[in-house]
Amino acid sequence: MASDANTYVAQIVPFPIRADFDPEQDLHWTTVEYLSARFKYIDLIINLPVNSLMRAIPGAYRAGGRGPGAASRFLNHSAPHELLQPNADQPSTPATIEAIRRHYDEQLMALGFKKRARRTINFPADNPVSPLRVRSVS
């Protein structure tokens, strides 16, 4: 179903676009790959929910989840527990958040995206959400 929608959008939108992504809807990395391959000019605004990932990754890992779960599909990482720093049993929040951001940046840059710009928005519960803005270059 998602690939049909992606194909439809790529056929009807021949001009520069902006795509907003929120992983609350189980965003798959393949969607980002698909759009980057089909549009010469595209800006991405991605809600990178580092605190949610900090909870989801160790939770799935401790429960024995080693397959491609939601965090794996979103991050394009076959073993996202490896991003838990210094280790999966005792993750440090700042170090793990930095590892998650660095990994996602690397994934986007590997697709040819340039000029990343990040802005962290703090919510009342001091729950940082880090929208990552990336612009493609032709």
Phi then psi for 13, rounded to 5 degrees?
A: -120, 90
Q: Is the pLDDT of residue 18 over 50?
A: yes
Q: What is the mean pLDDT of residues 81-99?
A: 88
Q: Which tokens go with 118?
A: 């990040």
Domain assignment present for residue 15? The answer is no
| Residue 99: pLDDT band with limits 50, 70, 90 | very high
Stronger pLDDT, 69 or 16, i.e. the higher one: 69
Residue numbers of the domain that contains 109: 2-7+27-41+48-133
pTM as predicted: 0.73
CA gap 14, 22 in Å, rounded:
23
Q: What angle do CA 21, 24, 28 make, to 5 degrees?
A: 60
Q: Is the pLDDT of residue 103 over 90?
A: yes
127 in a domain, yes or no? yes
**Does residue 120 belong to any structural domain of this protein?**
yes
CA-to-CA separations, 82 to 2, 29, 31, 99, 100, in angstroms, rounded? 28, 18, 23, 9, 10
Give the DSSP letter string of 93-133.
Answer: HHHHHHHHHHHHHHHHHHTTEEEEEE--EE-TT--EEEEEE
- Summarised one tens digit per residue, pLDDT across range 37-78 is 888 778 888 888 888 888 888 877 777 766 667 888 889 998
Total tally of structural domains belonging to the chain? 1
